[in-house]
Amino acid sequence: MIQKTFDIVIRNGVVCDGTGNPWTRLDIGIENGRIVHIARLVSSRGITEIDATGMVVTPGFIDAHVHSDLWCTRPDIHQIRVLQGITTELAGQDGVSVAPVTSETKPLWMKQLKRINGDIGEWPWESIEEYLAFLEQVKLTGHIAYLVPHGNIRSMVMGFAGREATQKEIAAMQELVELGMQQGAFGVSSGIQYPPCVYANKEELVGICKGAAKYDGCFVVHIRNESNYSLEALDEVIDAARSSGVRLHVSHFKICGGRNRDKLNIALEKLEQGRADGIEITFDQYPYAAASTFLHAILPPWMHDGGIAKMLERLHDPNVREQAKEEMEHNGEYDNPVRNNGWDNLVIASVASANNRKLEGMNLQEIAQQKGMDPADAAFDLLVEEEGEVTIIIHWGDDADVERVMKHSLQMVGSDGVFGGKPHPRLYGSFARVLGHYAREKQSFPLWEAVRKMTGAPAQLLRLRDRGFLREGYWADLVVFDPNKIVDRATYEAPMQQSMGIRHVLVNGKIAVSDGRLTNVTSGTVIRNQL
């Protein structure tokens, strides 16, 4: 029988270890930041003891899709993540992020991304290595892992040109992905709906994927179309994975628009068939029937050629406006939120200026009526006034479809949370919503399966060797929560409400949340790919 004094002992809890196995009753002994013993520690004690009677003990939650790339440097803001039990986040998403950059592309990305990824002023880096080294010098509440963003490397090779890449340019992008993997990234991301990634053809996707596959990295992708052509968009990325040998992970999987609901079963079958063919496929999902993105995503792809500055220049041209209006109302060839969901389902989440702060929380139909103008013109004017720095919430679907997708064995949880303004409630509520609303109230799946979806599954995606599961020798990232009280409180009307039921959170063996309150400990680290 073990008789020892540990730094921390967590006693009497119901342990869900992240594997998806049913719970068991075990104590956990922690020393020097790591789990050193999992057993009934009757004869041992801890310098600090946590009584988890009536509680569930799990690995720290891993958020598979975040936009905390710079917000993580602000513990006063970013602390809302660890309060939800999130101890690791995967950044560099949707093909657009903060590194790598060049002296030419850096000012453009700084301007475009400050509403999404955070604003710290001048970026003292260009490479991924320099960015991760910068993060290692600041105080982090949780861990950050990173993906090579496709849009960044494309802009380094060919600017923001709205055309397909040449063979030489594709080869250069592949080399940049390989370099990013060597510097610690876990894979490559793309947002094929967004500029400049939207201009890539499948050959280019195969090229960047080969760069990640060389190091067993993953391809994390916002597919080209999540609505009318979602099935074709899935075929594209599955074929790219098949041709390159990369592991495929589809970001925030969904099928948007009521007219497209019949595509959901076929889409899931395509993912399952890809698995049957030997392609390692997974996907993440947030537990809501609404998305959040840039307002300028409503514009046709040709409007983005040349970047934000060119887009804003075009919006001053009445003839261009009329052409864009026509396409937004009728064109189903691109992932068109206006045609698929209607102006009344497009809600302003955040703006850059105080002048338009009153519009946050209003949909574009309401804004247009208030201004006495067409909704498209109201959107165009807002983009011009805010220099493109506007985010929106898009109400796209049905809760029954959300639950159907969530039950799938390939699903894991990703919040896709965006800070600022009146955000989507997923920023504050995603993980508690899965545990409380779906696992407990709706009994969509057992609690231990919910835990696997937010711990072991993303750890497997990232090939983490010492996180994501409760195992001896692993880093002590842990969550203790009340299974009867855990609940999300964030709503679309009042999104900035912290979830309830998280009692304790440990990051690298340090107590970051105690009895539901922050301790202001910042023991987070940068997690690099271990080649």
Q: In what order do the strands lie in the sheet with 61-63?
A: 61-63, 86-91, 143-146
> Does residue 519 lie in a domain region?
no
Residue 400 has a CB neighbour count (10 Å cut-off) of 11
Query: What residue numbers bound the domain in which 159 lies?
Result: 61-291+397-462
Residues 412 and 372 grouped into a single domain: no
pLDDT of residue 55: 98
> Does residue 149 lie in a domain region?
yes
> Does residue 16 lie in a domain region?
no
Residues 160 and 137 grouped into a single domain: yes
Last residue within a domain, chosen from 439, 462, 485: 462
Last residue within a domain, chosen from 418, 438, 462: 462
Of 173, 323, 182, 346, nearest to 256 (Cα)?
Answer: 346
pLDDT of residue 259: 85
pLDDT of residue 2: 60
Of 274, 407, 287, 333, nearest to 266 (Cα)?
Answer: 274
Residues 86 and 190 grouped into a single domain: yes
The tens digit of pLDDT for each residue in 463-521 reads: 999 999 999 999 999 999 999 999 999 999 999 999 999 999 999 999 999 999 999 99
Residues 404 and 369 grouped into a single domain: no
Q: Cα separations (Å) of 278 from 114, 246, 247, 281, 340?
A: 39, 11, 10, 9, 34
Residues 277 and 251 grouped into a single domain: yes
Residues 402 and 332 grouped into a single domain: no
Supply 64's token pair: 């598979």
Angle, helix 202-213 to helix 230-244, in steps of 10 degrees: 40
Of 415, 457, 413, 458, nearest to 439 (Cα)?
Answer: 413
CATH number at residue 439: 3.20.20.140
Side chain identity at 281, as an amino acid letter? Answer: I
**CA 198 to CA 310: how far, in whole Å?**
16
Q: Cα separations (Å) of 112 from 220, 346, 354, 372, 419?
A: 21, 20, 18, 29, 15
Last residue within a domain, chosen from 426, 447, 462: 462
> Does residue 344 lie in a domain region?
yes
Contacts of residue 212, Cβ cutoff 8 Å, sequence gap at least 6: 148, 177, 181, 187, 188, 218, 219, 246
**CA 181 to CA 128: how far, in whole Å?**
9
Long-range contacts for 355-362 (Cβ within 8 Å, ≥24 apart)? 355/385, 356/382, 356/385, 356/386, 357/421, 360/421, 360/422, 361/422, 361/493
Residues 83 and 188 grouped into a single domain: yes
> Does residue 69 lie in a domain region?
yes
pLDDT of residue 240: 98
Q: For 85, what's the count of Cα atoms within 13 Å in the CB-facing half-sphere? A: 34
> Does residue 525 lie in a domain region?
no
Beta strand pairing call for 411-413 and 478-481: unpaired
What's the pTM?
Answer: 0.94
**CA 90 to CA 362: how far, in whole Å?**
30
Per-residue DSSP letter, 487: B
How many domains are contained in the chain?
A: 2
**CA 312 to CA 331: how far, in whole Å?**
21
Residues 72 and 134 grouped into a single domain: yes
Phi then psi for 402, rounded to 5 degrees? -60, -45
The answer to whether the beta carbons of residues 480 and 451 sit under 8 Å apart is no
Residue position matching structure tokens 């060919």: 158
Containing 395, the helix (H) or strand (E) segment is strand 390-395
List, as one string, the DSSP characters of 199-213.
Answer: G--HHHHHHHHHHHH
Residues 329 and 265 grouped into a single domain: no
Of 137, 127, 224, 230, nearest to 182 (Cα)?
Answer: 127
Please work out, in degrees rounded to the nearest 5, the angle formed at the alpha carbon of residue 260 by the alpha carbons of 258 and 261: 70
Residues 347 and 205 grouped into a single domain: no
**CA 35 to CA 28: how far, in whole Å?**
7
**Strand ranges for 26-158 from DSSP E:** 27-31, 34-39, 45-51, 56-59, 61-63, 86-91, 143-146, 148-149
**Strand ranges for 225-315 from DSSP E:** 247-250, 281-285, 290-294
Residues 384 and 402 grouped into a single domain: no
Query: What's the per-residue H, E or C state across 139-175?
Result: CCCCEEEECEEHHHHHHHHHCCCCCCCCHHHHHHHHH
pLDDT of residue 1: 58
> Does residue 55 lie in a domain region?
no
Residues 358 and 413 grouped into a single domain: no
Per-residue DSSP letter, 32: T
**Strand ranges for 40-85 from DSSP E:** 45-51, 56-59, 61-63
Preceding amide of 59 cis, omega within 30: no
> Does residue 41 lie in a domain region?
no
* Tens digit of each residue's pLDDT, the chain (531 residues): 567 899 999 999 999 999 999 999 999 999 999 999 999 999 999 999 999 999 999 999 999 999 999 999 999 999 999 999 999 999 999 999 999 999 999 999 999 898 888 889 999 999 999 999 999 999 999 999 999 999 999 999 999 999 999 999 999 999 999 999 999 999 999 999 999 999 999 999 999 999 999 999 999 999 999 999 999 999 999 999 999 999 999 999 999 988 899 999 999 999 999 999 999 999 999 999 999 888 999 999 899 888 888 999 999 999 999 999 999 999 988 888 999 899 999 999 999 899 999 999 999 999 999 999 999 999 999 999 999 999 999 998 889 999 999 999 999 999 999 998 899 999 999 999 999 999 999 999 999 999 999 999 999 999 999 999 999 999 999 999 999 999 999 999 999 999 999 999 999 999 999 999 999 999 999 999 987
